[in-house]
Structure 1
Amino acid sequence: MIQGQWDKAWQPVVEAFAQNFSEMGEQGAALAIYCSGEPVVNIWAGVRQNQGAGVVDQTWQEDTCVNIFSVGKALVALCVLQLAERGLLDLDKPVADYWPEFAQENKGHITIRQVMCHRTGLSAFRNLLEYEDIFDWQKMTTEIAALKPWWEPGTAQGYSPFIYGWILGELVKRVSGCASFDDYFQREVAQPLGVRCRFGIPPDQQTALADTAPLKNPNGLAVQSNGADSMALGKIMKADPRGVTNRAFGNPVSFMTATNSPAWRQAQIPAANGHANAVALARIFGALAEGGRLGDVQLLSAAQSQLCSRELSAEDDRVLGLRLRFGHGFMLPQGRPDCRFGRGASAFGHPGAGGALGFADPDYHLGFGYVTSRMGQSLLIDSRVIRLIDAAYQDVLNI
């Protein structure tokens, strides 16, 4: 049963959301959309199935939060753009100007802008790490400072699934004076907008989260992707066990296996372990769709928010094995359904592993947030979300 509120004009989107449960194996999810700065859809359904909750009521609630995985990269980028606008960071200056230890292994010339568009060669750790290492911020930043790039920085694009977040998060921490990346994010983004999104969940709040698990269709079979998927990525990893793609996702193995654990949830892994609800993403991206402002909250100036959709890199990615376009920390559309953020030419956003998505479409004044507990196989935009986007644009906006 679908719960929530929606404008009557957006009924086709609600129906598409319901179809995901009846036809595509959805078990717990939420969707929120802002249009021209106003909420037009806020719906949720299903169960969250938190194995550690110890309570009978496992129904999905409006405020249920779940791991949004790489959608968090966009939120990290937002924080960096805020600090750049305030003059505390210069995107064209080397990271090492703010973090001197980072200059090891000839990394002294890598700029912040190169980090934001995945052109650093810092996509994976070379040394084998221990399972628990990723839960220790100081350990990870020390490893990154000593890391040798996989290729000459600036010469190629290679998606950084995890390292991206620690580099930019450390910069945010250093120049803002905050005790942690999440402290800054709460102060400057989450609290002003009044949203539930956090990097690092205290133990006493973890039982309210939704667990993630593989998506299966109503017949119990894994749901296949209609675009680039994790099976193709698995082939790349298998073909070169010591290569950058394998190490990017599998070193250490906790990157792949720990995501429902208390340690993962409590740590700050900005590129991959933000926990949010759909409204949080819709409000944040809704602000970015309106030139950085939502109501009386100004996240970015109109001029600075244009950097989100300004292309910095577009080529075949050395890690993911497919062509990608990046702005300043945001993915940009490519025309194909599994990498199309809305319909506008200036749209931008970021998918998360398994299905989560946030995007802004300034041309149509749309902010979109979707979260789910069931992970599909798509590397980019999941089939369930494509159905929702199509309903929004084709049936409601008539585009």
Structure 2
Amino acid sequence: MEIYGFCAPGFEALFEAFAKNFRECGDTGAAFAVRQHGELICSLWAGSADRDGEQPFTEETLVNVFSSSKGVLALLAMQQVQAGKLDLDRPVADYWPEFAQNKESVTARQLLSHRSGLVAFRERVKDNLIYDWQAACDAVAETAPWWEPGSEQGYAPFLYGWSLGGLIERVAEKPLLELYREMLAKPLNLDGGFGALGHSSSRIADVSPLKQPLPELRENAIGRAIKEDRKGPVAMAFSNPVSLMMGTNSPEWRGALIPAANGHFSARDLAAVYGDLAGGNPITLGQKWVDEASREQSRGRDKVLQAEVSFGCGFIRSTQAADLRFGGKQGFGHPGAGGSVGFADPEQGLGVGYITTRLGQSLFMDRRAVSLVETLYGLLK
């Protein structure tokens, strides 16, 4: 496998770590990028962008990064907080009156930190609902929490995007995609965004499962929880509607706005977003609000993820676990289903992005991203 790109002097070992993922871990199309103190110090890519192996993967290739999209959405929300348009501790219903149904006390902070109880639709919804932005936002506004808001931590895999995205649109008084292009894509020169249409890159990679699953770094208890209660919050969060788990290469998925899960970004994009937040002088968000976004808002065994997780305002915070170690204690970011990840390490001034077309089954980062990150930090010592 021919590896393309560059590494700054002293970081050449990342070439071998990246190549090893293709030789031993099933990657067939992937990219890895790192920014430090505002400078791109590594950008690697290799393989193909389609399942037939005919379209080459490039530095600008966009991949569906699934829940890594959530960190970008959270940044847009925090920009509205900085602008004085959104108060984290006011009820969402103050800005979005229809949202008050069964949850008039839920705050923006609770939405961001996964403490709203709004983790899934409670009633079965039609498969095509997820492709209709307004209908999905309306359905979320009508949905009752699964438990008392603020009482428990429960990750919202998909409703997070419609609830937070709907709130952002109302306080900003602009469509979410327009806001994204104005506030993030343009200042950071990003190739991708939510959905996969209308961006500066037209190279969209197809995703597919790894041919041979990688050894797990921790138990993924979600499957067991789904089997134990097919109508419970975990099962409903991931499979209501079933179209949430299918068709991610389809024109309908790519053309929709599903901001919790259908962000399509390059590795360079994710490194740019998090490199800006880690650099000490961010252009997208003042340092005061970067600190607030990355400060712990909630910690515990998550009722949906079935694992111990620490959340800031929309970001997962670094822990000692290898699959959630984003540098030091100040690190924060967001992994995505399948293996993609983006994170910031303010202590080292690092922004890191990894994307892959071959989807693993790990709960957080899998061995491919972990290997690259561990190699990177070994070179920083």
The answer to whether TM tops 0.5 is yes
- Counterpart check, 1:213 vs 2:208: yes
Counterpart of 1:191 in structure 2 is: 186
Scaled by the length of structure 1, the TM-score of the pair is: 0.92
Structure 1 residue matching 2:347: 3-state secondary structure: helix
> One-letter code of the match for 1:273?
N
Structure 2 unaligned spans of 5+:
none
CA distance in 1, matches of 2:380, 2:192: 29
CA distance in 1, matches of 2:375, 2:317: 21
> One-letter code of the match for 1:169?
G
| 8 Å Cα contact 1:94/1:108 also seen in 2 | yes
Deviation string for 1:103-161 (max 9, x for gaps)? 011x1110000000000110010110111110001111111111111000000000000
Structure 2 residue matching 1:5: 3-state secondary structure: strand
- Counterpart check, 1:176 vs 2:172: yes
Instruction: Give how far 1:89 is off.
Output: 0.6
1:222 to 193, 213, 224: 213
Counterpart of 1:23 in structure 2 is: 24
Q: How does 1:1-20 map to 2 (within 5 A)?
A: 1-20=2-21
Deviation string for 1:299-345 (max 9, x for gaps)? 01111111132000001111111111000100012211111112x11
Give the 3 Å change call, closer, same or farther, for CA 206–277 of structure 1 in structure 2.
closer
Counterpart of 2:363 in structure 1 is: 379
Instruction: Give how far 1:254 is off.
Output: 0.6
Deviates more, 1:239-248 or 1:163-172: 163-172
- Counterpart check, 1:243 vs 2:232: yes
Give the 3 Å change call, closer, same or farther, for CA 292–155 of structure 1 in structure 2.
farther
Structure 1 unaligned spans of 5+:
none
Query: Identity across aligned pairs (percent)?
Result: 44
Counterpart of 1:289 in structure 2 is: 278
Scaled by the length of structure 2, the TM-score of the pair is: 0.97
Counterpart of 2:349 in structure 1 is: 365
- Counterpart check, 1:59 vs 2:66: no
- Counterpart check, 1:138 vs 2:122: no
Counterpart of 2:301 in structure 1 is: 316
Q: How does 1:261-300 map to 2 (within 5 A)?
A: 261-291=250-280, 293=282, 298-300=283-285
Give the 3 Å change call, closer, same or farther, for CA 345–301 of structure 1 in structure 2.
same
Give the 3 Å change call, closer, same or farther, for CA 205–9 of structure 1 in structure 2.
closer
| 8 Å Cα contact 2:299/2:309 also seen in 1 | yes
| 8 Å Cα contact 2:62/2:201 also seen in 1 | no
> One-letter code of the match for 2:63?
V
Counterpart of 2:116 in structure 1 is: 120
1:259 to 239, 243, 248: 248
CA distance in 1, matches of 2:189, 2:201: 20
Instruction: Give how far 1:201 is off.
Output: 2.5
Q: How does 1:15-94 map to 2 (within 5 A)?
A: 15-49=16-50, 57-94=54-91
| 8 Å Cα contact 1:125/1:247 also seen in 2 | yes
Give the 3 Å change call, closer, same or farther, for CA 181–50 of structure 1 in structure 2.
farther
| 8 Å Cα contact 1:6/1:42 also seen in 2 | yes
The runs of at least 4 aligned residues of structure 1 exceeding 2 Å deviation read 200-208, 221-224
| 8 Å Cα contact 2:7/2:14 also seen in 1 | no
CA distance in 1, matches of 2:293, 2:281: 10
CA distance in 2, matches of 1:172, 1:120: 16
> One-letter code of the match for 1:279?
R
Deviation string for 1:333-374 (max 9, x for gaps)? 2211111112x1111000000101000000011100111000
| 8 Å Cα contact 1:228/1:380 also seen in 2 | no
